[in-house]
Amino acid sequence: MPGQTYSRLGSLGGAPSPPPVPPAVAAVASLQRGGGGSGRRTPGKGGSASASAAAGWTGVGCGCAARRAARAVLAALHRRQAVFLFAPLLYVAAMLLYMGSIPLDVVPRIVARPAPGSVYRSPQLYARLRADMDADNSTDAVSGSSFAGLPESNGYIYIEANGGLNQQRTSICNAVAIAGFLNATLVIPNFHFHSIWRDPSTFSDIYDEAHFVKRLQNDVRVVEKVPDFIMERFGHNLSNVFNFKIKAWSPIQYYKDAVLPKLIEERLIRISPFANRLSFDAPPVVQRLRCLANFEALKFSNPIATLSETLVSRMKEKSTASNGKYIAVHLRFEEDMVAFSCCVYDGGDEEKKEMNAAREIGWRGKFTKRGRVIRPGVIRMNGKCPLTPLEVGLMLRGMGFSNNTAIFLASGKIYRAEKNMVPLLEMFPLLQTKETLASAEELAPFKDFSSRMAAIDYSVCVHSDAFVTTQGGNFPHFLMGHRRYLYAGHSRTIKPDKRKLAILFDNPRIGILFLGRRIVHGGTPNKARCAQAYPNDAFGYARLHECAA
């Protein structure tokens, strides 16, 4: 029907009308059907309905012109196919003519260039940079930042470090890294008084505060306290300062996205508690600040350092049989550690009563929740039970350390020391502690402060020739890393597999030499000469390396 439009949805009154056929398409179709001639067909003489419809919209006067135009288009296409066929031949001929017209002496040569870095060009580079170096315009790479000064601070960060000595140390290192990353000023950290450690020591009691500030001055601003003009905004009361509650092991990006805007807005923020509040997975710039704080900026206070040096000298004097070498053992067998492990030893009902009381004091209700099942045997098989002094002695004697070996024992108050320390002293009569190396007068300024006593242990262990860790935790982890740093990676550490030890100690018929082979070589028997070398070696591990090889 004339004037009717086509719809994809069809017409409302009947069958849909087909879309109009473009004239050019109809002309080509007409040529294909009839070849030459008029090609005009009528419905009465064999023509189709579509042909008649096409004739209807092409018009009588336009039919011849459309056919001529279609023929012209087809002829042009045929001619272009011939051009495409001969185009490569024409291109080659043109190139030959062009090359023949150029003299051979001006033909460009193809020069092979060496790969970058394969040629020694340092003298040329030095000649080019010499003027800049003489002008002394380069930055100081030793300190890691320019002496021109740090950018303007975004605000002050005040943290409260909780836990024992080395958990607080973790907090300090993380605080330095975060303050540097956020371009903030760090206030000297405050140490939180804990119900277990019960140590009121301040930062300056344990660390050299002046050295800490000076060593970080080119990387992080550190101040002793928040300035008064900032505290006026909060009524000189830190409890009025906004306190961030940050999840443990938060990524550094969280501090940039969430903490930095609040820091800029408030100019002072507080983070409490702060232990383990930064993920280990951090970019190198953050890790560098952590290491700078831990290995360079944190130096023990003068009273702790002085006594520690004295004890190290005395320890070397008592180890003359091994040329002044001694091993340090970190023993975690304090009452709270034994209670927290939920392991059962040989104390019977009295031990059970004491451990239940200690758990309730330190962790109210944590171990008595409904539905909680504690399996001491499974804990021991999984290597989670702290080694007793007896087990440490058996392990060291099995490894070949003789009774002439000088041992420094780093520990808190041993659980039932009057009983549990007897066999270890029988196996190693040269064993020493800070209490036996120092007089009562020398220890008096530190005795009632657990963190300061731990700092003394830490310092003596750092200078040992070998370090034995028995339980894990912050103390041995920091110590092992510090020793690697001080001795360029050449530090000896003994870290036993307590799951295997639990099986070995469960066999009452095992011999000491066989025990030694099982401990050192992981259960693979070795030659008899190795086992025979252990008992007579005052510092057995020196031979263990040869035997294991």
Secondary structure of 367-432 in the HEC alphabet?
Answer: CCCCCCCCCHHHHHHCCCCCCCHHHHHHHHHHHCCCCCCCEEEECCCECCHHHHCHHHHHHCCCCE
- Contact assessment for residue 286 and residue 144, using Cβ atoms and an 8 Å cutoff: no
Residues 380 and 473 in one domain: no
188 found inside a domain: yes
pLDDT at 106: 56
- Asked if the structure places residue 150 within a domain, the reply is no
Residue 23 lies in a domain: no
Give me the sign of the Cα torsion angle 53, 55, 59, 62: positive
pLDDT at 523: 44
Series of mean pLDDT values for 10-residue runs along the chain (549 residues): 41 46 47 45 44 43 67 66 64 70 58 60 64 53 47 95 90 96 96 77 96 96 95 94 94 96 96 90 93 96 98 95 93 94 90 92 87 90 93 91 94 93 95 96 94 96 95 91 90 91 84 68 40 34 32
* Domain final position from 365, 385, 405: 385
**Bridge partner residues of 494 (DSSP):** 468
Q: Are residues 436 and 515 in the same domain?
A: yes
Do 315 and 440 fall into the same domain? yes
What does the H/E/C string look like for 324-338?
A: CCCEEEECCCEHHHH
Residue with tokens 């086509």: 6
- 171 in a domain, yes or no? yes
Residues 401 and 351 in one domain: no
The verdict on 275 and 180 lying in the same domain is yes
Q: At 314, which CATH number?
A: 3.40.50
Q: Is residue 506 part of a domain?
A: yes
Burial 107-127 (b: 16+ CB within 10 A, else e): eeeeeeeeeeeeeeeeeeeee
Q: Domain for residue 142, yes or no? A: no
In this structure, are strands 466-469 and 221-223 parallel, antiparallel, or unpaired? unpaired
Boundaries of domain holding 475: 302-333+387-546
Residues 282 and 376 in one domain: no
Q: Are 298 and 172 in contact (CB under 8 A)?
A: yes
Query: Does 265 lie in the same domain as 230?
Result: yes
What local confidence, expressed as pLDDT, does residue 99 receive?
62
| Pair 519, 468 in one domain | yes
Q: How far apart are the first and last CA of the chain?
A: 101
pLDDT value of residue 94: 73
pLDDT of residue 122: 66
Say whether both 375 and 426 belong to one domain: no
Residues 452 and 493 placed together within one structural domain of the fold: yes
Closest CA to 458 of 481, 436, 477, 475: 475
Q: C-alpha angle 339/342/348, rounded to 5°?
A: 80
Closest CA to 274 of 249, 238, 240: 249
Of the residues 296, 317, 352, the one at which a domain ends? 296
Q: Which of 270, 296, 322 is the last residue of a domain?
A: 296
Domain co-membership, 408 together with 539: yes
b/e per residue 34-61 (b: at least 16 CB within 10 A): eeeeebebeeeeeeeeebeebbeebeee
- Asked if residue 292 and residue 402 are part of one domain, the reply reads no
Report the alpha-carbon distance of residue 317 to residue 231 in Å, rounded: 53
pLDDT of residue 48: 45
Domain count, the chain: 3
Q: Is residue 256 part of a domain?
A: yes
- Amino acid letter at 327? I
Residue 6 lies in a domain: no
pLDDT at 207: 98
SS3 state at 452: helix
